[in-house]
Every structure is written in C-alpha cells, then in structure tokens.
Structure 1
Amino acid sequence: MSAPTTTRADHSAMTHREIMEALSGLLLVLFAAMASSTIVSTALPKIIGDLNGSQTQYTWVVTATLLTATATTPIWGKLSDLFSKKLLVQLSIVIFVLGSLIAGFTQNTEQLIAARAFQGIGMGGVQALVQVAIAAMIPPRERGRYNGYLGGVMALATVGGPLLGGLIVDSDWLGWRWCFFIGAPFAVIALIVLQKTLHLPVMRRENVKIDWMGASLIAAGVSVILVWVSFVDDSFAWISWETLAMVGAGAILLALAVWVESRVSEPVVPLPIVRQRTTALAILGSLAVGMAMFGGSVFLGQYFQIGRGYSPTQAGLLMIPMMIGILVSSTIAGRMITKSGKIKPYIVAGTIVLVVGFAGLATLDHDTPLWYVGIAMALVGIGVGMSMQNLVLAVQNTVALKDIGAASSTVAFFRSLGGTIGVSVLGAVLARQVSESMTEQMTAAGMPAGSSNSGISALNLSSLPEAVQHMVRVAYGDATGHIFMISAAVAVIGVVAAVAMKPAMLRSTVDVGAAPEKEPALAAK
C-alpha cells in the first residue's frame, strides 16, 4: 500500500504520538544500516585476514560501500521530491537486505567488495530518505529535539556496532559472516513498522525526468579519482602517464557532470541550491565531518587490533569513548538548539572540538597510553555529534518543502563523498607508511623484505612468524598517527566553513511558504 496523498496542512498537524510511531520505523532501519558499517569496522581485520586480502582490499571493502552510497544518495533525494517517499524508503530497505545477505555468503575479497557496493545502494537510500522523511514531518525548530533521538540511535549503532562485531567475530559458533546477516532482520522489522505508521504527502508531478546522465558522470568521475588514489605511488608514480590519464579522465567527467547539472530540468545535484551560501558552507563542513566519522571508525578499529594486539571485542570496547561522545553531544546539542532556535554556535563549537580531537590522534604510535587515546577519541565523537546532523538541519532550514529531498541528499552526498575520499586517501597513506616501515624493519633485522610472509596477508597475523608479527604491529601502530594528522588538517576547513555561515533562527513551520508574516527572515540567500 503506497503512502496516501495528503495536504501539507494536514501533514504538518501530525501529533507527537504519530510522529514518534513513524520515527520508530525510520530510526530502526537507520540503526540497521549504520550498524552494518560499524559492525564491520572491528570485524574487518579478521575478515580480510581470513580471506587473505591486502591493505588496499581492506580499504576498498569500505570504499565500495561508501562510493555507491555516495553516488546514489542524490538520486534517492531527487526521487523523493518526485515520487512517494514511503515507497522509496521501502525499496531502499529491500536493496539493503539483499546486499547484506549476499555479502554474508561471499568467498573472497573481490566478491565481498562487489556485494558491499550493492549493499551501499540501499544504505545510501536509507540514510538520505530517513532525513527527508523527518524533514517532511517536523518543522526545523522542533527538529532539534527529534534530532536528539536521531543522534542517539546513530550513537547506539556506532557504540554497539563495533562491540557487537567483535563479539560475533570472537564467537565460536557464529563467525564473521553474521556481521552481515545480523542487520537483515532489523531492516525487515522496520519495513513492516513503516508500512503501518509512515504516511507522508505524495507530490505527483507530470513529465518527471530523472538525471541519469548527471548521476552516472558524478559516479564515474569520483570512482576514477578514488581508483587513482588507491594505486598511485604503488603501482605507478605520481608523475606518470597513468596518473595523467586517470586524473585527467576524472576531471573531465566531473566537469561534464557540472555542465549537465546546469542544463537539465531535474538535476540530481541542484546547482542553485548548492550555490546558496548556507548550503555551500554546509557542504564544506560535511566533507570534513564525513572524513571524521568514517575514517575514525575504520582505522581506529584496525589500530587497536593490528597495531596494539587487542581482540575484536576488546577493540570494540576501546572505541566506546568516541561513540559516547557522539551520543551525549548530539542529544544535548539537539535539545539546546530546539530551545534557543540557534544552530550556528553549536556547529562552530563542534568543528573546533573535532580539530582538537584529531590533533590528539595525530600523535598515536604503538605505545600510546590508552587513557590518552580515549580522551582524543571522545573529543572526535563530541565534534561529530555537535556538527554532523546540524549541518543538514541548517540547509533544511533554508529551502522549501518541495526541495527538501534534493537539499538534504545533496549535503548527505558530500558528507558521504568526504567519507569515501577520506577512507580511500587515508587507506592509501596508511598502506604506504606500513610498507615503508616493514621494509625498514626487515632490512634492519637482516631479513629480505617480503621474504618471510610467503604471500600471506600482513593482516593475517596468526599465520606470520612471531618476529614478523611484532614488525607488523609496530608498522600499523606508528602509521596510524600520520593519517589522523591529515584528518586534523582537513577538519580545519570545517571550522572555517562553520564560522562563515550566516546566523539564522530555525523556523517553526514545515515549509517556508507557511511561515507567518512576523517570522524573521530565515533563509540565507
């Protein structure tokens, strides 16, 4: 049964109980989608080790999901402005469930990367459409309070995910495949709940045109650049014909995408919205936060397991400070924003704390005291919690309801793009640092580089000689600080963007056209 067509006036009058009933299903599927990523974050060293994969493949298991989620996010958002939001949410859930099941049955890293790429299509839809549905139900001024619930669920997924992933991997009767299977039942339950509770207006429009060309060009351009990042300085030099070909091709594809988006009637990334000051600055901030959110969870889990020698379960427990930081800061900031109607101070404070946290993580090595690591992670979590959702809210506050899907998904697109680029770049830097460190250590020990692992993955520590295991731990432990130094530098861009945003009071209506005359000017033109 599709979502009923209702008037905007009727829809804006939803009671708190009706909103909470619909929100329960939305938050449940968001939890399943986010947990599917965070569960893997602590399990991935074990998974790639068992499949005998490389550090580059480790990175691409994450990057493939983020890439397809990034590429499809603006498409889902645009579709939500044209068709039934409820039907699209349900479709994205089905794709996510199928992708999860396929990933659980894969037999090698190549199959796993492909399955995760398919799963990412559903994840991109879930993450974008949950934001869109909430924006269609709740006025921006009240959304701060509900964003507290949203932040809480996201924090629960990020807190519980790594721990649950560790427990599953360490279990004698489950195994790592259940890291993928376990999200499916939650998503199916959410599908049933939403069928009964989610009722959003359907804006039916004639002669609908989807910008498949623009979406394809964006996905292709980003993919080429990320493939180049993964292999440059390893398979080929920075200055080489391969670099020229790949960077040139990526730049041309993205330039063509901008050209197409400026001319089609229904662009997936509406340039007029992107050109607005608030949206443009929120995009810059989201790129930095995306790198923080994804880079932190992916490489900290690897740091604790490979660099420090902890089990997956212990690694999940050690990551709790960052997740608690997200939970506490997002909940408190959300309620304070609803009370005051002001959002900029919290985004500025969050991005500053994010830089401080990354600067702390930039000093990590294989002997760093755990209390110090915990404090730095907590600061990163606080920064993410105060800024991530509020950057989306700042943009939603400036656009009409008819554009809420495109606007929300555009910010989500660039946040996911930041995460995709961040994981790919940081993973490539980590791989280079580890390779150089291993070569130096083995040369110093009088061992020919690469002679003692006989083709065994460096992530499969239990199959390596004890002396080599120690070298791998030192290499990964010391290299992690370098990648977070890059993250700290990028996060500074988020601070600059947040400071440059225009202060604005959050409106108290769902649509800008419904605002009373005495309402202050809210949109940043």
Structure 2
Amino acid sequence: MHSIHLADVHDEGKIPNSTPEAPSPVPEDPLPKKKTRKPFSFYMSVVALCLLAVITAWDATSLAIALPAITDQLHGTTFQSFWASTSFVLGVTITQPIYVSVSDVFGRKQPLYASLLFFTVGSIVFAVAQNMETLIGGRLIQGIGAGGLDVLEEIILADITSLKERPVYLAIIALAIATGSIAGPILGAVFSQFDWRWIGWINLPIVGTAFILCILFLRLRPIDVPLSVKVRRLDWTGIILFTIGATATSLPISWAGALYPWSSWRTIVPLVIGLVVLVIFGFYEKRPANPILPYQLFSNATGTASLITGLLHGLVLYTILLYLPLFFQAVFLEEALEAAKSTLALAALVIASSFLAPIAIEFTRRYRFLLWAGWVFIAVFLGLWSIVGLNTPRVQTYVFQALLGIGIGVVFTGTQVPMQASVVHVDDTGLAVGMLVVFRLFGALIGLAIGSTAFSSEFEKHIVALGPLPEQLSALNDASQAVAFLPTFRTLELPAELTDNVIGVYLQSFKAVWYILAAFSALGFIGSLFIKDLSLERDDVGRQGFEQST
C-alpha cells in the first residue's frame, strides 16, 4: 500500500512534485494490488471509534424526550428547558470546524483527547446538577466535547483507511452512529422514568473504555513539526471570525419561532450581525495557508453537491428524529416510551440501510444511482406520511416508516463516499470528511428552526379556529407550549369531540413539517444529480495514517 510520509510533505502539507488533477471516473482497476493484513491495533482503533460514534449519537438524541421530566424535577422554566436542549447543539455546531482545522495542523490525537475531557466533565456536571443553570452549563461543555468526538472519529477513520477499502469501515461506523441515534430516545425515555441523571452517568464507562483503547492502540503518524510552527500555522483570525459569526447566527436561528418570533429585534439583530461576520470570514479565508474553510473542497461539482446534499440530509434527518416521536405522543396519545417504540420501524431500517449502502458500494464500486434512489424514498414517503392520521392502520404507519428509513440510511452513508472521492490530494480527505459533518450539523440546526416555526405558526392558526378553550386547555393558547403540554393533555378527561379537535390541530401542525421536509428532500434529489461516479480505486492514505509497522 502506497503511503505518504511526513518527510515527503512540504510545510504546508502538500505533496511535492505533483500536479493537482480533479478525480475522474475510472471504470476499473486493471492491476489490483494485494491487500496487506492489518495489525490487531488497527481493529481495536476501529472499536474505539465505534464507541465514540455511539456515545455522541445517543447523547445528542436522548435528552429531548426526558427534558419535560428533568425540567419539572428541577423546577425549571420553558426558557431554561429550551437552553438545556439548544446549548448542546450550539456547542457541537460552533466547535466542529475549529476541531477540523486544529487537528489538521496539530494532529488528531491531542484534539481528540481534549474533546474526551470536555465531554467527560460535561457529563459529570450534567449528572450532578441541582438546578437548571448548572444543567445547561453541563450540556454546553458536553457539546464542546461532542463536537470534537463527532467529527474526529470520522476524520480518523478516513486517515487510517484508503478510499478503496473505506466503504466497509464506513458501514461499521454508520451502524454505530445509527444505533446510538435510535437508542438515544429509548434510553432517554427509560431513564426519565426512574432517574434522568443516568443520561450523564452512562457516558463515563463508555468514554473511559474508548480513551483507554485510543491510548493503547490508536497509532497515527505524528506531524513532526515544532510546536511554534504549528501555532503559527493556525488560522487564528479565521477561528475568531467564525466563532463570532457562527454564534451570532446560530443563536437567533435556534430560538426563532420558539422563544422569539422571526420578526423580533432579538432575532433579526444578531442574525444580521452574524451573517455579516460570516461573509467577512468567507472572503478572508482565501488568504491563510491552513484556512478553517478549505476552498479546494469546492473546486469540483461532486464535492460541492455532496456538501449541499449533506446539509439537506442533516436538515431532514434531525427534524424527523425530533418530530416523529412527538407525532405519536400528540396524535395517538402515547407516553414517551411507547412513542419511541412506535418509531422502531424507522429506526431498524435506518440502521440496516446505513450499514448495507456502503457494502453495496463496495461490491458495485458505484454510488450515484443509490443516492438518487435514497432521496426519492425520502421525498416520496415523507409526502405520504402527511396522510397518516388517527384512523390510519398501524401496519401502514410501519411500512411508511420503514421505506422512509431506507432512504435516510442510504443517503447518510452514501454521501460520504463521493465527498471523499472528490478530493484531489489525499491529505485533504480529513478536511472533506470534517466539512461534511459540519454541513450536516448546520443543516440540523436550520431544520429544527424551520420545523419549530412551521409547527408553531400552524398550531396557532388552527387552535384559534376552535374558539375559546376551557380552562384545562388554556396553556394551548400559547403555541410555544404545545409540545410541553402533551404529558398533561394525555391525562385530561375531555369530551371526545373536543379531544379529537385538539388532536386535529396537532395533526395539521405536523403535516406542515412533513410537507416542508418533503420539499427539502426533493431539493436533495436535485442536488444529487450533480454528483458523479468517481473512481474509488485509490490505495494511498494521508500523512496522519496508521502506523502499520508498530
């Protein structure tokens, strides 16, 4: 296997005496190279990466379903409940590009250990919290750590495998991510019923095991450059501009339609400031040698289309993961745990298809048609989900979920392959992986904001149409309380007609979300048409690859 050692690389991390060429479709590898047997330490490193993938995915999805119980026990407000959920997402979104850039200059392991430390400290602070302020702080620290874990486990996988062999390992990591994402709501519901603090405590043995495995087995080639040189290489101005711009932009996007309306100055002012700073950041990033925003990734249609469709997939995926369990709670009046069980059809097929899609790519060496089919499944069955109501047979809801899950899983892992195949220099693979993760998470933030706004506006319109509400339902006059009111709504003894009418309001509000997601899925399909079938027959690994000789 051909590998690039540090001695062969200039200070700026480029391959000497090479002419950049865009990847092109190559139908066959006429002289396949003999596979070398990987050491035991390699496989144990993959196990460590899987543990990191599971824990970050499950932690990102476990809190939402347990939050009402937590807020009630700690006597929190709606405002504090919002920040308990949002602080984690903001921590992840804002720090991920910084982790990508820092790890490309300093190496992967130091940022990885730092993110493990942040995540562990945040988990402990969350688990021992006696008030909502402490809990919010813990979730923010967790998010700062999870941002690194989430992006670095995918970057390191790209470092230690070649493009030719990577689809198999992508399938393994995808299985871990999907398992964590699906287990999160279920475990969150279980823990919320006896002790929600285990949402934090359960992280510690898993993180500890992953840390030990990384120390013992993760042997990456070091970047043998003096610390002072590494510090100078960092894009400090870019980091500052991005942090300010991303924070100022993400905050109003996250609270618009939930805490404050889009028309409020509290939303408009920071959003405008953030966008202006991000524009300045975009222009500035053409100057540094090691920018946070690597422009070379946008040099071809396949890379650009992969990033755009990755953003759209994150927008759709995370919004579905939030609103589908709520749909079963509101429309079928199920408790949180029962609602989580009702989404198992989606969960099972997301896991299966996210694992099988890279396997199919491994055998066919093609991915384009698979991505098209995935986006079609998402768009069609999100559209069909809008006809699901109280009288829909349960079998139909399971079939629709299963077929939707197939599309979500296929696109989740399938998009990673063309993104990585599109890079010109192998040392840019880590940057490509990191940017795809960043775009996916930023899409999630946008999707959750759009979903919240659509749901609230539709709920407000339809609840007013019911006329004056009885005292028991007075909280529903404020659309922002619609989700928090669900546990109470299930326990009320109301006339059957009134109950059905209120359920109808919830149903119409969810339909607005499904329509919007279906429209974005159609855009995802259009974007996937610009992705080309590039050759996967590349054996080289980057300068931070695995130390085979150790």
Match of 1:257 in 2: 281
1:509 aligned onto 2:539: yes
How far 1:117 moved relative to its partner?
2.4
Partner residue of 1:274 out of 298, 320, 340: 298
1:32–1:237 distance in 2 versus 1, CA, 3 Å:
closer
Q: CA deviation at 1:402?
A: 2.1
1:168 paired with 2:195, answer no
Q: 1:195 aligns with which of 204, 215, 231?
A: 215
- Structure 1: tracts of 5 or more residues without a match: 514-525
- Per the alignment, residue 476 of structure 1 pairs with 506
2:377 equivalent to 1:353? yes
Q: State whether residues 160 and 541 of structure 2, in contact with CA within 8 Å, keep that contact through their aligned partners in structure 1.
A: no
Matches within 5 A, 1:347-426: 347-365=371-389, 368-399=392-423, 400-426=425-451
1:110-149 mapped onto 2 (5 Å cutoff): 110-149=133-172
Match of 1:334 in 2: 358
**How many Å separate the matches in 1 of 2:84 and 2:156?**
29
* CA deviation after TM superposition for structure 1 residue 13, in Å: 5.5
For 1:194 and 1:389, how far apart are their aligned partners in 2? 24
Measure, in 2, the Cα distance between the counterparts of 1:50 and 1:460: 14
Aligned twin of 1:521: none
- State the partner residue of 1:220: 244
1:35 Cα offset (Å): 1.1
Q: Deviations over 1:1-26 (max 9, x none)?
A: xxxx9889xxx956164432210111
| Cα distance in 1 between the residues matched to 2:472 and 2:487 | 19
Compared CA separation, residues 33 and 233, structure 1 to 2 (3 A)? closer
What is the alpha-carbon distance in structure 1 between the residues aligned to residue 343 and residue 144 of structure 2? 27
Q: CA deviation at 1:419?
A: 0.6
CA 1:315–1:334 in 2, change beyond 3 Å: closer, same or farther? Answer: same
Distance in 2 between residues matched to 1:70 and 1:99, nearest whole Å: 16
Does the CA-based 8 Å contact 1:49-1:460 persist in structure 2? no
Q: Secondary structure of the equivalent of 1:119?
A: helix
Aligned to 1:495: 525
Aligned twin of 1:458: 485
CA contact (8 A) 1:343 1:506 kept: no
Deviations 1:350-401 (A, max 9, x none): 1221212321233445554433332232233212211122322222223333
In the other structure, the counterpart of 2:99 is 76
Question: What is the 5 A alignment of 1:56-67?
Answer: 60-67=83-90
CA displacement at 1:198 relative to structure 2: 0.9
The code of the aligned residue for 2:354 comes to S
Q: CA deviation at 1:56?
A: 6.9
Deviations 1:408-466 (A, max 9, x none): 1111100110011111221232233334444443526699954999x995255179854
CA contact (8 A) 2:257 2:456 kept: no
Give me the identity figure in percent. 23
Give the aligned partner of residue 518 of structure 1: none
8 Å contact from structure 1 (residues 144, 334) kept in 2: yes
Q: Which runs of 5+ in 2 are unaligned?
A: 9-34, 544-550
Q: What letter corresponds to residue 169 of structure 2 in structure 1?
A: Y
Q: Which SS does the other structure have where 1:262 is aligned?
A: coil
Give, in whole Å, the separation in 1 of the partners of 2:450 and 2:59. Answer: 22
Output the amino acid matched with 2:199. Answer: C
Q: Secondary structure at the match of 2:466?
A: helix
Going from structure 1 to structure 2, the CA distance change for 1:435 and 1:177 (only over 3 Å counts) comes to farther
Q: Residue 315 of structure 1 is aligned with which of 339, 345, 364?
A: 339
Which one-letter code corresponds to 2:202 in the other structure? Answer: I
Query: CA offset at residue 258 of structure 1?
Result: 0.5
Query: Is the Cα contact below 8 Å between 2:90 and 2:250 reproduced in 1?
Result: no
Partners of 1:397 and 1:507 within 8 A in 2: no
Compared CA separation, residues 23 and 81, structure 1 to 2 (3 A): same
Report the CA distance shift for 1:115/1:235 in structure 2 as closer, same or farther (over 3 A).
closer
**8 Å Cα contact 2:255/2:449 also seen in 1:** no
Seen in structure 2, the aligned counterparts of structure 1 residues 80 and 43 have a Cα distance that, compared at 3 Å, is same
1:75 to partner: Cα distance: 1.4
Amino acid at match of 2:523: I
Residue among 104, 108, 111 paired with 1:88: 111
Deviation, structure 1 residue 186: 0.9
| Aligned residues of 2:254 and 2:448 also touching (Cα < 8 A) | no
Q: Do the aligned partners of 1:64 and 1:117 also contact (CA within 8 Å) in 2? A: yes
CA deviation profile, 1:478-516 (whole Å, cap 9, x unmatched)? 322211211111122211111111221212313389xxx
Q: Could you give the per-residue CA deviations for residues 235-257 of structure 1, whole angstroms, max 9, x where no partner exists?
A: 77655655653442232121112
- Deviation track 1:185-204 (CA, whole Å, cap 9, x = no partner) reads 21111111121111111223
The residue type paired with residue 439 of structure 2 is: F
Matched residue of 2:100: which SS? helix
**Counterpart-to-counterpart distance in 2, 1:446 and 1:42:** 26
Distance 1:394 1:40, change over 3 A: same
Higher mean Cα deviation, 43-52 or 251-260?
A: 43-52
**Separation in 2 of the partners of 1:306 and 1:262?**
49
Structure 1 position 158, deviation (Å)? 2.6
Asked if 2 retains the 8 angstrom alpha-carbon contact of 1:169 and 1:312, the reply is no
1:151 aligns with 2:174: yes
* Counterpart in the other structure of 1:522: none
Partners in 2 of 1:154 and 1:64 — Cα distance?
21
Is 2:122 aligned against 1:99?
yes
CA distance in structure 2 between the aligned counterparts of 1:59 and 1:387, rounded to whole angstroms? 30
Q: Are the counterparts in 1 of residues 300 and 422 from structure 2 also a CA contact under 8 Å?
A: no
> How far is 1:301 from its partner?
2.1
- Judged with a 3 Å threshold, the aligned counterparts in structure 2 of structure 1 residues 251 and 123 are, in CA distance, closer, same or farther, namely same
CA distance in 2, matches of 1:45, 1:7: 56
Aligned equivalent of 1:517: none
What is the CA–CA distance in structure 2 between the aligned matches of 1:110 and 1:474, rounded to whole Å?
Answer: 36
Aligned to 2:27: none
- Which moves more between the two structures, 232-241 or 38-47? 232-241
Give the partner amino acid of 1:192. Answer: I
Aligned to 2:453: 428
Counterpart contact for 2:307–2:439, Cα < 8 Å: yes
Matched, 1:37 2:60: yes
- Aligned-partner Cα distance in 2 for 1:135–1:495: 26
Contact in 1 for aligned 2:125/2:134 (Cα 8 Å): no
TM-score (norm 1): 0.85
RMSD of equivalent CA atoms: 3.3
CA-CA distance at 1:331 after TM superposition: 2.0
Q: 1:240 to 1:290 in 2, by over 3 A?
A: closer
Higher alpha-carbon deviation: 22-31 or 330-339? 330-339
Select 2:314's aligned residue among 261, 267, 290. Answer: 290
Q: Supply the distance in 2 between the matched residues of 1:246 and 1:347 (Cα, whole angstroms).
A: 37
- In 2: Cα distance, 1:46 partner to 1:490 partner: 33
CA distance in 2: counterparts of 1:137 and 1:259, whole angstroms: 33
**Residue 249 of structure 2 contacts residue 274 of structure 2 at CA under 8 Å; is this kept in 1?**
yes
Distance 2:87 2:476 in 1: 31
Q: Does the CA-based 8 Å contact 2:422-2:534 persist in structure 1?
A: no
